[in-house]
A and B are shown apart, each in its own frame.
Chain A
Amino acid sequence: MKYLLMICGDESAAEHANDGCGGWSEEMEQRGVVRGGAGLAPATDATTVRVRDQELLLTDGPFAETKEVVGGFVLIECADLDEAIEIAAKHPAAGYGTIEIRPVLDGPPPDAH
């Protein structure tokens, strides 16, 4: 099962940008659960894409009008949601921000055709 961990935080999370992950990355690499990931540029650099009635709508900034935005992501592969929760809870960002766990769909999305 693949999950995307979306590392979220508000503006104050930016001060943690260069903290590193306190051994989390090394541990998870060793466990072999990490499939990819990266930190992201600030949300002020984000562009949100929507198409409504065949019209392309672009918004400057993050997708939601919330204080918390995605600051990074990790793609993991593990047994089930309980293990994904355990992995996410160990990430230092869980202590100051939030981590949203999203299951990754296998193959093409169901409505692709």
Chain B
Amino acid sequence: MLPEDGPPVADDGSPVQAEGVADDGQLVEEAVGRAFRDEWGQVVATLIRVTGDWDLAEECAQDAFATALERWPRDGIPSRPGAWLTTTARNRAIDRLRREAVGAAKLREVAAMADDAVPDALEDQEDVPDDRLRLMFTCCHPALALEARVALTLRTLAGLSTAEIARAFLVTEQTMQKRIGRAKQKIKNAAIPYRVPPAQLLPERTPAVLAVLYLLFNEGYSATTGADLVRRSLSAEAIRLARVLAHLMPDEPEVSGLLALMLLHDARSAGRQGDDGQLIPLEEQDRSRWDAGKIAEGTDVLEAALRRREPGPYQIQAAIAACHATAQDAGDTDWPQIAGLYAELIRFMPTPVVKLNQAVAIGLAEGPAAGLLLVDELVASGTLTDYHLLPATRADLLRRAGRLDEAAAAYREALGRASTDAERAFLRQRIEETCPPASGPFVGEVTDDGKDAEDDRDQAADR
């Protein structure tokens, strides 16, 4: 029998091994933070399967993390934090159900969840569609609105707070809370099944999952919260789930395309940030810091997908990423090819952000004037008004065209809209570089910028 409120036990019934009592409170906080990023989705997904109650699952997962903060300083950090957290959350669920006098049958069902059913997130179980995949397909069910699917996945699977999700989607926290609440209600009331869909339904259910995975990856790749720029585990999580999906759906080239895209972006992440956390533009990155293994894997996965001759937005974006990842240096980048790929991408995704990226590519393939023409069209259309990369891209093109005063003004506009410290630091540096010293010569600046124009690019194309 399981102890009602005792310490968690491992598979063999012995107490979970502690790595040693941590006397450093900060160390424990870091461990809990890491466990939160790595294990939250798994804990919630397993609890939903076992209890069938989404709110209860989330609340008990939250309690488990709070308990970890309380106990790990005293008892040490468990060797398998995921198993410890899942067991603690499960025990909490039993308490709650008991207090709420839920039927005995339900209680037995939850209690009967043996500890060996607590998955070890450290193990790579790619052959088994795990609870997270089940949760992913349920969160991405087409009977839910797209915005609700994304929000629900980020909340339940990635553990982002409602406030963070609200910020990412430019709505109020209250609106986001309602959106997530309604989605959970519908799953319950309309009996949306908690499962990976049967094979014949997978092709129609997959695109929604891909969209959400890519958002999840991007959340990890460029975090929405202040100084915490790279929440690496979210990107790793998205890649892991994409691998499972690619394994489940080998005949879906877009799944492979997404996997390739994420690998190729992720491969460059070590070169993306300086030691102080500042963003380094692609052309200034130390390419020896890029992960050659991931680049090779990404291009292999992409080539296999492209051989099926069913192009799609993820495969095209991966092809663009491959152009960057395989260029010897910034000057070697095939910008005309990239501009052509963006033109192809617009056929699938005629969005302002894609058009902005096309403008960057054309600016580098044909010169800043051609790029500015497209950016000014976007500005005139009144879209992307909250997006700092619109003025930042415009600023970059103006700078390279030698229109420094206008460039500095556009960088300042971008600074006002940037949402992370790293982005702000990058923009401040650009402003400093762009503003000519009051007494210094002005002409030299123009010449330098003209010279650098060919291998310069904005970070917008890095998205």
Interfacial residues, chain A to chain B (CB-CB below 8 A): 1, 79-82, 85, 101, 103
B205's nearest neighbour on chain A, judged by CB, is A82
Contact yes or no, B193 A103, CB < 8 A: no
Give the chain A neighbours of B143 by CB distance below 8 A: 81, 85
Task: Tell whether B171 is near chain A: CB-to-CB under 8 Å.
Answer: no
Q: How many residues of B contact A (CB 8 A)?
A: 9
How many angstroms between the C-alpha atoms of A81 and B141 in the bound complex? Answer: 10
Q: B189: which A residues are within 8 A, CB to CB?
A: 103
Say how far A85's CB is from chain B's closest CB, in angstroms: 7
Q: Which residue of B lies closest to A102 (CB)?
A: B190
What's the nearest-Cβ distance from chain A to residue B140, in Å? 13
- B194 shortest CB reach to chain A, Å: 9
B443 beta carbon closer than 8 Å to chain A: no
Nearest-Cβ distance from residue A3 to partner chain B, whole angstroms: 8
Contact B197 A82 (CB under 8 A): yes
A80–B192 Cα distance when bound, in Å, is 6
Distance between Cα atoms of A103 and B268 in the complex (Å): 48
Q: Which residues of B contact A79 (CB under 8 A)?
A: 191, 193
Main secondary structure of the interface of A (DSSP, over half): mixed
B residues within 8 A CB of A103? 189-191
Q: Quick one: which of B159-194 are within 8 Å of A by CB?
A: 189-193
Query: Closest B-chain residue to A2, C-beta based?
Result: B191
Chain B residues with CB under 8 Å of A1's CB are 191
**CB-defined contacts of A101 to chain B, threshold 8 Å:** 190
21 CB-based A-B contacts, threshold 8 Å: A1-B191, A79-B191, A79-B193, A80-B191, A80-B192, A80-B193, A81-B141, A81-B143, A81-B190, A81-B191, A81-B192, A81-B193, A82-B192, A82-B193, A82-B197, A82-B201, A85-B143, A101-B190, A103-B189, A103-B190, A103-B191
Question: Which has the most chain B C-beta neighbours within 10 Å: A1, A80, A81?
Answer: A81
List the A residue with the shortest CB-CB distance to B143. A81
CA of A101 to CA of B190 in the docked complex: distance in angstroms? 9
Per the bound structure, the CA–CA distance linking A103 and B143 in Å amounts to 13
In the complex, per-residue mask of B265-288: 1 if CB is within 8 Å of any chain A CB, else 0: 000000000000000000000000
CA A81 – CA B143 in complex, angstroms?
9
A79–B198 Cα distance when bound, in Å, is 14
Contacts of B192 in A (CB 8 A): 80-82
4 smallest A-B Cβ distances: which pairs? Answer: A80-B193, A1-B191, A80-B191, A103-B190
The 0/1 profile, CB within 8 Å of A marked 1, for residues 416-445 of chain B is 000000000000000000000000000000
Question: What sequence of 0s and 1s flags, for each residue 339-365 of chain B, a beta carbon within 8 Å of any chain A beta carbon?
Answer: 000000000000000000000000000
